Chain A
Amino acid sequence: MGIQNTLEGSNTEIPEIGALDVDKIKQDFPILQRKVYGKPLVFLDNAASTQKPLQVIETIQQYYTAENANIHRGVYYLSELATQKYEHSREIVRRFLNARSLKEIVFTYGTTDGINLVAHAFGRKFIKEGDEIIISEMEHHSNIVPWQILCEETGARLRVIPMNDNGELDLDQFRNLINSRTKLVAVVYVSNSLGTVNPIKEIIQSAHEHDIPVLVDGAQAVSHYRIDVQELGCDFFVFSGHKIFGPTGVGVLYAREEILETMNPFRGGGDMIKSVTFERTIYNDLPYRFEAGTPNIAGVIGLGTALEYVENIGYEWIGAHETEVLQYGMNVLSEIKQIRFIGTAQKKAGVISFVVDGVHPHDIGTFLDREGVAIRTGHHCTQPVMDHFNVPATSRASIAMYNKKEDFDALVRGLHKIIKVFS
């Protein structure tokens, strides 16, 4: 692309990290230095949203301080600069996902927005009465409700891949669900409430044997795994910026160019058109056709920096470090005899969900909060998962690359205190 080298204005320096050290990474995240109720913050709610490194914060500050203007329209300096930076982020995302073409990278407002885009622009065009959409029992509400709405509108039917009591999908059942009416498979890569890593490649291959396109919800996967959409072979891949150390309100939809080309427009408005008269509108080329209105420009540029930050650290290190921390977390938590894990899949990433005998997750959350430990308690927007395990809610500790083993020591200390009070 070569845009990067011609860019003026400061590109925040991302230091090369040689011998990687989690403390060095932590220093990049100013919020992790703060205290909560006088206790050092232990942030274990990364599946909900991750913290932002200084590099991302500075990129956004730099944009609003020295580069802000609307994109794709102005002929003046700032508008061209903002456009270059925005489009440069698209190239970073393309490279990050290893997509073939920039046309396949659509900026959205997040994972939910991306799924809704596909449900409208692909679903309304290609899914008709009697057709079937396959999702799984462990989907986030955002990968259930858009399809339910589509089914209500069209008379299509939602089919659900069941999971076993470890929280693993039953692939035999999945293959049995596939038939000539199946028009789409939409599945999560890494479960946000169980941590299960699904055999997504196998799922895609099975669907493709029947020429069924597959949407992958990558919201939880991107901060833990390198994503190569060509290697996966998926037709759609969606994720959010804020779950990979970027800003909120920005996300990405990757869609294969051949499919994107055939889809209906989603939102109508400025930027997604070539020309408008009252008689006829000619839509813009890909990917702009799906980016109506002024986008979250600062967010997109900040996301670019976040992805570069992650690439610079490297998934090899992230994977090795997180596996060690997660394993340690499971070990120390399993020493508490009142704990039952929800989600014990063979292959897990990032998430430990659990319930404690005799203590409701909400009470746990409030207690831990006062210890400076932030975890998530509730149904995690996956009520069908809670129903499967017959619990109203769970406590969930979820990690990112900046978490350390001692974070779980703090969690365990807090849990012992609660159990004592409630016993």
Chain B
Amino acid sequence: MDELRELYQEIILDHNKNPKNFGELPDANHSSEGYNPLCGDRIKVFLKVKDGLVEDIKFTGSGCAISRASASVMTTLVKGKTVQEAEELFKRFHDLVTQSPQAEVNLEELDKLAVFAGVREFPSRIKCASLAWHTLIAALKEKQEPISTE
């Protein structure tokens, strides 16, 4: 059960229950939809980017605790950062969840991302943790018209 506790840390369970920045963003100018055909999880990421800065970010969708918590933590980290910083965070996250479970974790550098280190022990769940981040990168690349609430 130790590895399970490592995966389902309190922080992850909290974010799952009460996700931050959950909902639509009416004045978003970037958005993308992510889909995991393996489990049917769907997520939408909405961004308001101005002068290379992520001014606001929100997400909607359904998914497991890992994917919801990952999306929630991601929004708190990316909000207020530059696009370049967001991309660097993605890379750091990606490296973390795809490295060997035995690899040393630099807690200081990873900061809030470190809670996802437990995912490395569960290969079938890496996609759950990564879905939101991949959707974020797709949204940053795909500039779209503002999402209308009409």
Contacts and interface: CB of A to CB of B under 8 A. Distances in A.
Contacts of B64: 360-363
A421 B13 contact: yes
A370 B8 contact: no
A348 B38 CA distance: 26
Interface in A106-151: none
A392 B40 CA distance: 6
- Secondary structure of the A side of the interface? helix
A343 to B, nearest CB: 17
Contacts of A191: none
B63 A360 contact: yes
A67 to B, nearest CB: 38
Nearest to B63: A360
Given A370-B1, A421-B8, A422-B13, A379 B66 contact: no
A269 to B, nearest CB: 32
Interface in B37-68: 38-42, 62-66, 68
A305 interface: no
Interface string A394-423: 000000000000000000000000000110
A393 B13 contact: no
Interface footprint category on A? 10 to 19
Nearest to B122: A366
A168 to B, nearest CB: 23
Interface in A352-388: 359-363, 366-367, 370, 377-379, 383, 386
Contact of B65 (A363, A370, A377, A383): A363
Interface footprint category on B? 20 to 34
A392 to B, nearest CB: 4
Given A360-B65, A366-B122, A392-B62, A383 B4 contact: no
Contacts of A363: 8, 64-66
Nearest to A380: B40
Contacts of A383: 40
A359 B3 CA distance: 19
Contacts of B125: 362, 366
Interface hub of B40, B62, B124 (most chain A Cβ within 10 A): B40
B86 interface: no
A393 B39 CA distance: 7
B129 to A, nearest CB: 11
Contacts of A366: 4, 7, 122, 124-125
A397 to B, nearest CB: 17
Contacts of B41: 362, 392-393
Contacts of A421: 8, 13
Given A360-B65, A366-B125, A393 B4 contact: no
Contacts of B132: none
B128 interface: yes
B40 A393 contact: yes
B67 to A, nearest CB: 8
A393 B65 CA distance: 14
A185 B63 CA distance: 35
22 contacts: A362-B39, A362-B41, A362-B63, A362-B64, A362-B66, A362-B128, A363-B8, A363-B64, A363-B66, A366-B125, A370-B3, A377-B39, A378-B38, A378-B39, A392-B41, A392-B42, A392-B62, A393-B39, A393-B41, A422-B13, A422-B16, A422-B65
7 A-B pairs with least C-beta separation = A362-B64, A360-B64, A392-B40, A379-B40, A393-B40, A363-B65, A392-B62
Given A367-B4, A379-B39, A422-B16, 17 more contacts: A360-B64, A360-B65, A361-B39, A361-B64, A362-B125, A363-B8, A366-B7, A370-B1, A370-B3, A377-B39, A378-B39, A378-B40, A386-B40, A392-B62, A393-B39, A393-B40, A393-B41
